[in-house]
C-alpha cells in the first residue's frame, strides 16, 4: 500500500518542484529521473503482484475526503476563471452545476456513508498502472526534447510556459493512479475531474483562438460526463448506501435492476471520456496541442480512464440489458464510422485520432458485451493500443519537427530521409492493424466474443470496420515504404531523449507482442478469473504462439532484413524518356520536363466527415437518450 501511496503522491511532488524550476538542465534531470522512478515503481508493483486476484486495503480518512472536496472546488474555480475570461457561458454553468452537486453530495449524503476499504488493486489496475507509469513516463521524457524544439519554433518573445506544461503532465499521471487504485468512488471522482481539467489546460496550452475553442469543447463535454458520474454517485449514496466501487459492482451483479440508472450514468461518463460519438470532436480538437499532450491523452491516460471504467462495469453489463445495449451500440457505431472517416484524412494526427476513437469504440463494445472473453480482448486492446499509439504519436511529432509537416503526403520517402524513424513508425502502424501483431490478436478475440454472444450487428460492424482500418493504415504504410535514391538524411538532429522514448515504446511493443501468451497468463487471465470465476479466452495458446513467431519474423525483416540485395539497381519505368528517376521526371510531349506525382486515395465523397459524422452523432445521441429514459423509468414502472 505504501507503493500505491507513493505512486499517487510522488508525481504530485515532482509537479510542484517542476513548477518552480525554470532551467532546462535541471528540468531534464528531474523529469528524466522521476519518470524512471515512476516507471520502475510501477513495474515493481506489477512484478511483485503478478497473478493477484485483487488486494484491498482498509484505509479511510476524513481528511482525504475534505482534500478531495477542496480539490473539486479548486478545479471548478479554474474552469470558472477561464469561462469568465473567455466568456464561455456553457462551461461556467456546467462547472457550477457540478460544484453544487459535489458539495451537496459531500456534506448532505456522502458523510454518512462509510467506505472502509479506500484503496485496492487487482490485475486490471496493475495493467493500467504499468501503462500509466511506463508509457506515460516515456512520453514525459520524450516531451523534454520535443518541447525544446517547440519553444524554439515559437516567436522569440513568447513566454516560456514549459514549467506549467511538465507539471500538468505529472499531475495527470497522479490523477490516473488515483482513478485506478481508488475504491472510494468519491476519490475516484476527484481523480476523474483532475484529468478533465488537466487536459483542458494542456489542450489550451498554446492559447491560440483555435486551442482555446477546442479546450472549451473538451471541458464542456467532459463536465457533462462528470455530471453523469455525479448522478451515479447520488444513486449510490442514497439508494445503495455505499460508495465502495467493489461493493457497487457486486451489488450490481446481484441485482442489475437496482443499479440500472447508476450504471447508465457511469457508462455515460466513460463514453464522454473515451470520446465516443457524439463526443468524438473533443479528441479531434485536442490535436492542436503539442504532440506529447496528444500522445498522453490518446495512449496512456484520459481516454483510457474512460474505457477502464467501462471495462470495470463489464460484469454488470453482462447482467443488465439496457446499459449493455447502450454501450455496445455506441461503441460499435463509433468503431465503424470513425474507421470510415479515417480513410478521408491526410493529416497524420487526425488519422491517429480517428483510429484512437475507433479502437476505443471497440473496447467500449467489448465492455458492453461483458463476457469473460470480451474482457480478455478489451484488456489486450487497451494494452496494445496504448503502446502502439504512443509510439506513433511520438514518431509523428518527431517527423513533424524534421520535415515540417504532419501531412501523410509529405511523409513520402521517409524511409530514405529518416530511416530509423520510418521503421519505428512502420512497426507502430503494423501493430495497429495487421495480424499477427497484438492489436489484431485482440480484435480476433473480440470477434470470437461477439460471435459467441450472437451479437450479429457487432460482428458485421467489426467486419466492415476492420476492412476500412486496413485501407487507411495500408496506404499510410505504403507512403512510408517508398524508396528513391539517397536523399539527405535529416534525422541526425533528433534529440537523444526522443530516441530513448521511441526505442522504449518500440521495444515494449515487440516484447508485448512476442510475449502475449505470457501476459495473458499472468496479468489478463487472473483478472478475468477473479471477476467471473471462470477463464474466458477465445484463442488457444498454440495459436497465440504462432502469432508470436510471425511477429518475430516480421520484426527481424523490418529491422535487419533490408538492404542486403545484390541485384543491379535500375530506374523506374516512366513510359517514355525519363529525366531523373528519383524525382520521377520524364520528357513530355512537348519535349519539356514533367514530374509524375502520386497521392493516396482519400475518397472524400464516400467516406468524408461531412457525410459520415452526422449519422453517428444522431444515432448515438438517440441511443443514449433512450437508455437514460428507460433506466430512469423502468424501476418506477416495474
Chosen residue from 29, 33, 238, 553 binding another protein by CB under 8 A: 553
Shortest distance, CB of residue 548 to another protein, whole angstroms?
Answer: 10
Does 3 interact with another protein (rule: CB under 8 A)?
A: no
Q: Is 562 in the site for another protein (CB under 8 A)?
A: yes
Distance of CA 55 to the CA centre of its chain: 26
- In whole angstroms, the minimum distance from the beta carbon of 525 to another protein comes to 19
**391-450: contacts with another protein (CB under 8 A):** 413, 415, 430, 434-436, 440, 444, 447-448
Q: If you ran DSSP here, which 8-state letter would residue 536 be given? A: -
Q: What CA–CA distances, in Å, run from 613 to 278, 344, 435, 617? A: 8, 12, 28, 6
Least Å distance, CB 454 to another protein, is 4
Q: How far is the CB of 278 from another protein (least distance, A)?
A: 25
The answer to the question of residue 598 lying near another protein (CB under 8 A) is yes
The alpha carbon of 201 is separated from its chain's Cα centroid by a whole number of angstroms, namely 18
Distance CA(514)–CA(526), nearest Å, equals 20
Sequence-distant (≥ 6) Cβ neighbours of residue 623 within 8 angstroms: 325, 326, 329, 330, 333
Angle at 321 between CA 319 and CA 326, to 5 degrees: 125
Nine cell digits for residue 228: 453523469
Q: Which is nearer to another protein, 93 or 546 (CB)?
A: 546
Cell readout for 239 is 439508494
Q: Could you tell me if 629 and 343 are in contact, meaning their C-beta atoms sit under 8 angstroms apart?
A: no
User: What's the rounded Cα separation, in Å, for the pair 578 and 167?
Assistant: 56
Lookup result for grid cell 519535349: 591
Return the bridge partners of 587, or none: 593
Kindly state the cell numbers that stand for 425.
513508425
Sign of the dihedral through C-alpha 355, 357, 360, 364: negative
Among 104, 405, 601, 625, binds another protein (CB under 8 A): 601
Q: How far is the CB of 391 from another protein (least distance, A)?
A: 18
Q: Report residue 469 as a C-alpha cell.
A: 482500418
Nearer to another protein, 162 or 423 (CB): 423
The answer to the question of residue 63 lying near another protein (CB under 8 A) is no
Stretch that binds another protein, among 3-11, 62-70, 251-259, 453-461 (CB under 8 A): 453-461
**Position 66 contacts another protein (CB under 8 A):** no
Binders of another protein among residues 455 to 474 (CB under 8 A) are 456, 459-460, 462-464, 466-468, 470-471, 474
Asked if 600 touches another protein (CB under 8 A), the answer is yes
Q: Does 489 bind another protein (CB under 8 A)?
A: no
Q: Do residues 415 and 422 lie in contact, with contact meaning Cβ atoms separated by under 8 Å?
A: yes
In the complex with another protein, the residue whose CB is nearer, 104 or 546, is 546
What's the closest the beta carbon of residue 556 comes to another protein, in angstroms?
A: 10
For residue 117, give the 3-state DSSP assignment.
Answer: strand
In sequence order, the 6+-apart residues with CB closer than 8 A to the CB of 493 are 402
Q: Which of 584, 585, 604, 626 contacts another protein by CB under 8 A?
A: 584
Name the one range near another protein by CB under 8 A: 157-165, 379-387, 391-399, 581-589: 581-589
- Here the cell at position 521 is 497468463
CB 79, CB 166: distance < 8 Å: no
Q: Least distance to another protein from the beta carbon of 326, Å?
A: 21
Stretch in the footprint of another protein (CB under 8 A) among 69-77, 179-187, 494-502, 570-578? 570-578
Spatial separation of the C-alpha atoms in residues 195 and 421, rounded to whole Å: 31
Site for another protein contains 567 (CB under 8 A): yes
Closer CB to another protein, 157 or 486, in the complex: 486
Pairing of strands 55-58, 117-121: antiparallel
Question: Given the complex with another protein, which of 16 and 546 has the nearer CB atom?
Answer: 546
- Single out the residue of 97, 253, 483, 626 in contact with another protein (rule: CB under 8 A): 483
Of the candidates 628, 616, 606, 627, the one whose C-alpha atom is nearest the C-alpha of residue 281 is: 616
Considering beta carbons, is residue 260 or 332 the nearer one to another protein?
332
Binding window for another protein (CB under 8 A); candidates: 294-302, 320-328, 524-532, 566-574: 566-574
Cell output for 556 = 527481424
Interface with another protein, residue 575, by CB under 8 A? yes
Hey, which residues between 507 and 546 contact another protein (CB under 8 A)? 539-540, 542-543, 545-546
Phi and psi torsions of 244, nearest 5°: -90, 125
Q: What is the DSSP letter of 87?
A: T
Taking the C-alpha atoms of residue 534 and residue 522, their distance in angstroms, rounded to an integer, is 15
Task: Please say which residue, 493 or 597, places its beta carbon nearer to another protein.
Answer: 597
Judged by CB under 8 A, does residue 592 bind another protein? no
Closer residue to another protein, CB minimum distance, 44 or 481? 481
Tell me how far, at minimum, the Cβ of 472 lies from another protein, in Å: 9
In whole angstroms, the minimum distance from the beta carbon of 580 to another protein comes to 12
CB of 318 closer than 8 Å to CB of 324: yes
Residue placing its CB nearer to another protein in the complex, 316 or 343: 343
Sequence-distant (≥ 6) Cβ neighbours of residue 522 within 8 angstroms: 50, 51
Min dist. Cβ of residue 423 to another protein (A)? 11
Contact 248, 184 (CB under 8 A): no
Q: What are phi and psi of 301, to 5 degrees?
A: -125, -165
Please choose, from the candidates 25, 51, 47, the residue with its C-alpha nearest in 3D space to the C-alpha of residue 530. Answer: 51
496 binds another protein (CB under 8 A): no
Single residue of 25, 155, 533, 564 touching another protein by CB under 8 A? 564
Residues 491 and 398: their CA atoms lie apart, in Å, by: 9
Give the one residue of 21, 78, 117, 574 binding another protein; rule: CB under 8 A.
Answer: 574
- Total binding residues toward another protein, as defined by CB under 8 A: 70
| Pick 496 or 569: Cβ nearer another protein | 569
Task: Find the shortest distance in angstroms from Cβ 321 to another protein.
Answer: 16
Residues forming the site for another protein (CB under 8 A):
413, 415, 430, 434-436, 440, 444, 447-448, 451, 454, 456, 459-460, 462-464, 466-468, 470-471, 474-475, 477-479, 481-484, 539-540, 542-543, 545-547, 549-550, 553-554, 557, 561-578, 581, 584, 587, 596, 598, 600-601, 606
Amino acid at each position: 500500500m505504501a507503493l500505491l501511496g507513493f505512486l499517487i503522491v510522488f508525481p504530485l511532488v515532482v509537479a510542484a518542484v517542476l513548477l518552480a524550476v525554470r532551467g532546462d538542465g535541471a528540468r531534464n534531470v528531474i523529469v528524466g529521473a522521476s519518470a524512471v522512478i515512476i516507471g520502475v515503481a510501477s513495474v515493481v508493483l506489477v512484478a511483485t503482484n503478478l497473478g493477484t486476484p485483487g488486494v484491498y486495503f482498509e484505509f479511510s480518512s476524513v481528511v482525504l475526503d475534505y482534500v478531495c472536496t477542496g480539490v473539486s472546488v479548486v478545479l471548478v474555480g479554474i474552469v470558472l476563471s477561464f469561462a469568465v475570461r473567455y466568456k464561455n457561458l456553457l462551461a461556467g454553468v456546467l462547472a457550477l452545476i457540478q460544484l453544487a452537486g459535489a458539495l451537496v453530495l459531500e456534506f448532505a449524503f456522502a458523510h454518512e456513508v462509510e467506505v472502509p476499504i479506500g484503496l485496492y488493486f487487482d490485475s486490471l489496475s496493475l495493467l493500467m498502472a504499468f501503462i500509466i507509469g511506463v508509457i506515460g513516463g516515456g512520453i514525459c521524457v520524450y516531451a523534454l526534447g520535443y518541447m525544446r524544439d517547440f519553444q524554439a519554433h515559437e516567436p522569440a518573445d513568447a513566454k516560456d510556459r514549459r514549467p506549467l506544461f511538465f507539471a500538468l503532465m505529472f499531475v495527470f499521471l497522479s490523477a490516473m493512479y488515483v482513478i485506478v487504485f481508488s475504491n472510494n468512488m468519491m476519490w475516484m471522482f476527484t481523480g476523474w475531474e483532475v484529468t478533465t481539467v488537466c487536459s483542458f489546460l494542456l489542450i489550451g496550452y498554446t492559447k491560440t483562438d483555435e486551442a482555446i475553442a477546442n479546450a472549451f469543447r473538451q471541458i464542456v463535454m467532459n463536465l457533462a460526463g462528470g455530471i453523469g458520474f455525479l448522478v451515479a454517485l447520488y444513486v449510490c449514496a442514497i439508494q445503495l448506501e455505499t460508495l465502495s466501487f467493489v461493493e457497487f459492482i457486486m451489488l450490481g451483479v446481484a441485482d442489475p435492476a437496482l443499479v440500472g440508472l447508476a450504471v447508465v450514468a457511469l457508462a455515460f461518463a466513460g463514453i464522454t471520456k473515451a470520446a465516443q460519438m457524439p463526443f468524438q470532436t473533443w479528441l479531434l480538437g485536442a490535436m492542436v496541442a503539442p504532440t506529447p499532450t496528444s500522445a498522453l491523452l490518446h495512449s496512456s491516460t484520459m481516454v483510457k480512464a474512460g474505457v477502464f471504467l467501462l471495462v470495470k462495469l463489464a460484469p454488470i453489463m453482462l447482467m443488465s440489458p439496457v446499459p449493455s445495449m447502450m454501450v455496445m451500440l455506441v461503441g460499435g457505431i463509433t468503431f465503424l464510422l470513425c474507421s470510415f472517416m479515417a480513410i478521408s484524412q491526410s493529416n497524420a494526427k487526425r488519422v491517429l485520432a480517428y483510429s484512437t476513437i475507433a479502437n476505443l469504440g471497440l473496447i467500449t463494445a467489448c465492455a458492453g458485451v461483458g463476457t469473460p472473453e470480451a474482457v480478455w480482448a478489451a484488456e489486450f486492446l487497451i494494452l496494445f493500443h496504448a503502446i502502439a499509439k504512443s509510439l506513433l504519436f511520438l514518431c509523428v511529432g518527431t517527423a513533424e519537427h524534421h520535415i515540417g509537416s504532419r501531412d501523410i503526403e509529405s511523409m513520402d520517402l521517409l524511409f530514405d530521409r529518416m530511416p530509423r524513424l520510418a521503421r519505428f513508425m512502420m512497426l507502430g502502424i503494423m501493430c495497429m492493424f495487421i495480424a499477427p501483431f497484438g492489436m489484431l490478436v485482440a480484435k480476433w478475440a473480440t470477434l470470437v466474443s461477439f460471435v459467441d454472444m450472437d451479437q450479429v450487428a457487432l460482428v458485421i460492424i467489426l467486419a466492415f470496420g476492420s476492412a476500412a482500418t486496413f485501407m487507411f493504415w495500408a496506404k499510410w504504410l505504403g507512403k512510408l515504404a517508398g524508396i528513391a535514391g539517397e536523399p539527405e538524411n535529416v534525422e541526425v538532429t533528433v534529440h537523444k531523449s526522443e530516441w530513448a522514448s521511441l526505442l522504449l515504446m518500440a521495444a515494449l511493443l515487440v516484447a508485448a507482442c512476442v510475449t502475449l501468451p505470457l501476459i495473458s497468463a499472468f496479468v489478463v487471465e487472473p483478472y478475468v478469473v477473479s471477476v467471473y470465476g471462470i477463464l474466458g479466452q477465445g484463442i488457444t495458446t498454440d495459436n497465440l504462439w504462432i502469432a508470436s513467431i510471425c511477429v518475430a519474423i516480421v520484426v527481424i525483416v523490418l529491422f535487419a532484413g533490408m538492404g542486403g540485395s545484390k541485384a543491379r539497381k535500375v530506374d523506374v519505368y516512366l513510359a517514355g524518356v525519363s529525366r531523373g528517376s528519383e524525382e520521377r521526371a520524364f520528357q513530355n510531349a512537348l519535349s519539356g520536363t514533367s514530374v509524375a506525382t502520386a497521392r493516396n486515395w482519400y475518397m472524400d465523397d464516400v467516406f468524408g466527415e461531412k457525410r459520415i459524422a452526422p449519422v453517428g452523432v444522431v444515432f448515438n445521441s438517440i441511443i443514449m437518450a433512450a437508455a437514460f429514459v428507460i433506466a430512469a423509468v423502468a424501476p418506477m414502472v416495474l
